[in-house]
Amino acid sequence: MKTLAAQVITPEDLLKHWQGHRALTRRVIEAFPEKDFFEFSIGGMRTFSKMTDELLAIAVPGLKGIVNKEVKPFTEETEKLIFKAQYLEKWDEATAEINAYWEKLSIEDFNENFNLFGQYEFPVIQNVLYFVDNEVHHRGQGYVYLRALGIEPPFFWER
């Protein structure tokens, strides 16, 4: 028998937290000059467009897998995007899809294990926190790219 322990954040607030971060990441994408978004990098790391590919390949596919209880391997976008505007469009589509899938999660789902991308077997709450952390991590790297390009990044508190 399973009892629900006392917990500290509602699904609504967690979604708001995630989408707040996603709104900030969108502003970071916007801040990149078109060319640098696709070409600039430091120390052999990926460009910010490549990191954005990863973020897009995680958020909706990951959440969709959780909601549909369907384990699929991780794959990045096969359709290659070549303009920043296309990334921003994809980003906004993902924002709406995340909101829609989130609605389908019940409170109990967050404590169920899910094998994310067939690789990471953790409770759903850990998967969701990973989505956010991974985005914050790469966006922090985007901040360094912007600074190295002489561009002021958006304020971290702005969501």
Residues near its own copies, by CB under 8 A: 4-14, 17, 21, 42-45, 107, 110-111, 120, 125-126, 129, 132-134, 136-141, 143-150, 156-157
Q: Give the residue among 102, 76, 86, 94 at the shortest CA–CA distance from 14.
A: 102
Query: Cβ–Cβ contacts within 10 Å for residue 90, how many?
Result: 17
Nearer to its own copies, 100 or 144 (CB): 144
The tokens describing 124, both together, are: 């759903």
Nearer to its own copies, 79 or 150 (CB): 150
Q: Give the residue among 153, 154, 141, 152 at the shortest CA–CA distance from 40.
A: 141
Round to whole Å and give the CA distance between 28 and 6: 36
Residues 77, 57: contact at Cβ < 8 Å? yes
Residue 85 C-beta: closest distance to its own copies, Å: 26
Cα within 13 Å of Cα(9), Cβ side = 12
Residue 88 C-beta: closest distance to its own copies, Å: 22
Nearer to its own copies, 5 or 82 (CB): 5
Nearer to its own copies, 73 or 150 (CB): 150
Nearer to its own copies, 78 or 157 (CB): 157
Residues 121, 113: contact at Cβ < 8 Å? yes
